[in-house]
Structure 1
């Protein structure tokens, strides 16, 4: 049995060992001629084959000898190609007529609204003046962002028309983190409330909830709202049940019937409202950590859903995770700007030794460029934390805040005094 993964960047790398453990071979398809510079290159050494996509017919022809049973996206840029290949190969897939709506945020929210679900008001255009002239019923603030990016890339919160115009010009004048042009920008009404993550795995519309997490973000003076930390809720803790039910309906509205999904939802005074959903693993998912705190993880269940669907349906469909410990995932931000000369191993060891630190990932090394954080990909470290009580995590988190900018020592610029 073979499975195809398209663009197994970041957390997508966790799918290969899970499929291998279940006895399935895995073929990797790279959607671009070169690896995407915004993300660490995936390790392709364990794959049965590695195919660089050039055209749909050619890639499908290269895959047919393996008789794959499913095609999955390993990361956001692979979603559309995974759908196209599944359709070309006649494999189980999400609704092909709504493929674009699973990648384009404007079409996504439009589909969710059409299904009768609460969501943001929105407008899209390639003209900054048109975007600045638009007003939602509730007025300012508004959110300006690309239609097809992720990880908080170029997301601005704006309080005036001039800010909208400037933000729109910034979006339209840049590429996404995946190297795609932005012919249009999207402006949406600001959703007031707490943001949450709801991660699921589906098989033919039957779903298991892998976790509900509460986001805490940090608003910068630039208008960027960056990731800070996310906390695991118990499934019986409000508003987890309400969010699960809403996301279940949103996935139906988007034609999502198979595979892992990562949904971001804001609980507004009028109820949950979808921010976006990705048809792939959660970016901050780590199998061992999620097994520890939630009794299972999205990568293992995504592989089980494909290779042993009856087991998935019998053991997981219609159920949810079990919170076994307090847990957060912390993504550290920085104001440092320069080139990393070295990692201060003593400081890194002090962070790793904190009582609640379960796993500690340095995102940079000597020679890496470090810049002030503006999105998830420009954060400097990812730290998984767990303890019996939240007070222990909070204490260790405060210490991390004190230490985080001492981990990386920067090169002294030539001519600096």
Structure 2
């Protein structure tokens, strides 16, 4: 059996002048639509389904060609070259490692030997600490005995246990004793192995500072020499409930002191982590007295329901700008500035029920609401973590006060009938 399989949509020739390969594409990052708009052939690179994986399969819908990589890097690289591929991007965090290897095979900017720096929390903390960049105290291991030994000597009051691989969808577990680490270890390691292909976990000191995300784009170093050029595009502040569940995410003005400090730290982190090209997102914590600290970095575009509103407010085109960094014919990436306030509101349900269509209509009538992910009449489960929220509402307006007024109204709707209680799955 061949190491790769190619599936092509009928009606198109293979000899188009420019093509881009998106590795492990997902429907939330619709690169196929963006590539079609610029008359560039879209090639999806997927891998054979792992029957033990709980992750959704890569989605090649809308792509001109699909190359199924079965392990033969040279064969897959030659097939991509024959399709005219001139750029490779990870379509999701799970595609970062393979995208880097394929880019290297096509003589594009990449460094497969250090790819863990772009997709592994433990490796990121290690290399940044070696470069004297502040990070939380972190230990990476796949052995419980080693983790417990580190815990005994680190003298921290509490740590978070979480997968090392950034693509693993698992909520961190707060641990304050060896017994709590041991109790959570087996399930966390199993989840890490299923979703990330590795059983490595990290123990990271628990810090109460506020969270932020910094999005950036990197243009490759010019052929004549030099270094890649990193540009921060947008910075977001995360607010959580008292129970630690994500409440809202606010776009920060680029010229504010906090946004500038977070950006400077992120740009230094990108250099140390060896990002060569494309989009990235740094998830940071700000700790008084220590400043910004990296929690994780992902060398892939992080799309959200707010992307259209983001483009309308700032000119940032999340996927189009990412492609502009790696396609030779693309124009340069600008430096947008915030002209409108933008907030992503997460919705929470206290009990199981259904979404009240009348209250959804009232929510959508609020003047600052520009998008939501609600399905009237749909069943909802109680919100127990940031991964189980009911949905998201995007608010955008020139007036920050108008945003706050509608935010409070949304929370009142949640408290007074947005969810019809008593439904169950």
Q: SS at 1:248's partner residue? A: helix
TM-fit CA distance, 1:80: 0.6
Aligned length: 396
- CA distance in 1 between partners of 2:363 and 2:69 (Å): 41
Residues 306 and 371 in structure 2, CA contact (< 8 A), matched pair in contact too? no
Q: Which runs of 5+ in 2 are unaligned?
A: 1-17, 221-227
1:374 to 385, 408, 420: 385
* Distance in 2 of aligned mates of 1:93 and 1:293: 32
Query: Is the 1:22–1:307 contact (alpha carbons within 8 Å) kept by the matching residues of 2?
Result: no
Is contact 1:334–1:371 with CA below 8 Å preserved after alignment? yes
Aligned to 1:214: 237
1:265 shift after superposition: 1.0
Distance in 1 of aligned mates of 2:307 and 2:88: 21
Q: What is the match of residue 228 of structure 1? A: 247
Tell me the TM-score normalized by structure 1.
0.84
Alpha carbons 1:331, 1:379 under 8 Å: kept: yes
- What is the match of residue 302 of structure 1? 322
Helix, strand or coil at the partner of 1:153 = coil
Contact 2:369/2:393 (<8 A) preserved: yes
Specify whether residues 163 and 293 from structure 1 end up closer, same or farther in structure 2 by C-alpha distance, changes over 3 A only.
farther
Offset, 1:27: 0.6
C-alpha displacement of 1:164: 2.7
Offset at residue 181 of structure 1 (A): 5.1
Match of 2:6 in 1: none
Equivalent residues of 1:364, 1:380 under 8 A apart: no
Q: Are 2:371 and 1:356 equivalent residues in the alignment?
A: no
CA–CA distance in 2 between the matches of 1:412 and 1:356?
30
Q: 1:106 aligns with which of 122, 132, 150?
A: 122
Within the alignment, does 1:5 sit opposite 2:13 as a pair?
Answer: no
Match of 2:411 in 1: 401
Point out which structure has higher relative CO (alpha carbons under 8 A, 6+ apart).
Answer: 1
Displacement, 1:175?
4.3
More moved, 48-57 vs 30-39: 30-39
Looking at structure 1, the residues matched to 377 and 46 of structure 2 have their Cα atoms a distance apart, in angstroms, of 25
1:390 lines up with 2:400 in the alignment: yes
Residue 194 of structure 1 corresponds to 210
The root-mean-square deviation of aligned C-alpha atoms, in Å, is 3.0
- Alignment equivalent of 1:252, drawn from 271, 277, 286: 271
2:346 to 324, 331, 335: 331
1:109-128 → structure 2 map (5 Å cutoff): 109-128=125-144
Q: Distance in 2 between matches of 1:24 and 1:241?
A: 35
Could you tell me which runs of 5 or more consecutive residues in structure 1 were left unpaired when the two chains were aligned. Answer: none
Deviation at 1:11, TM superposition (A): 3.4
TM-score, normalised on structure 2?
0.83
Question: Mean Cα displacement is larger for which, 54-63 or 64-73?
Answer: 54-63
User: Which secondary structure state, in structure 1, belongs to the residue aligned with residue 257 of structure 2?
Assistant: coil
CA distance in 1, matches of 2:386, 2:376: 15
Aligned CA distance change for structure 1 residues 263 and 208 (closer, same or farther; 3 Å): same
Deviations 1:225-266 (A, max 9, x none): 432211111111121111111111111111102101111111
Q: CA deviation at 1:10?
A: 4.9
- Whole-Å Cα distance in 2 between the matches of residues 403 and 31 of structure 1? 44
Measured after TM superposition, the shift of residue 103 of structure 1 is: 1.4
Question: Does the aligned pair in 2 maintain the 1:385–1:393 contact within 8 Å?
Answer: yes
1:50 counterpart = 2:66? yes
* Contact map agreement 2:212 2:235 (CA 8 A) in 1: yes
Partners of 1:40 and 1:335 in 2: CA distance: 31
Alpha carbons of structure 1 residues 26 and 234: separation in structure 2 relative to 1, 3 Å: same
Structure 2 partner of 1:278: 298
Task: Give the distance between the partners of 1:129 and 1:218, measured in 2 at CA.
Answer: 34
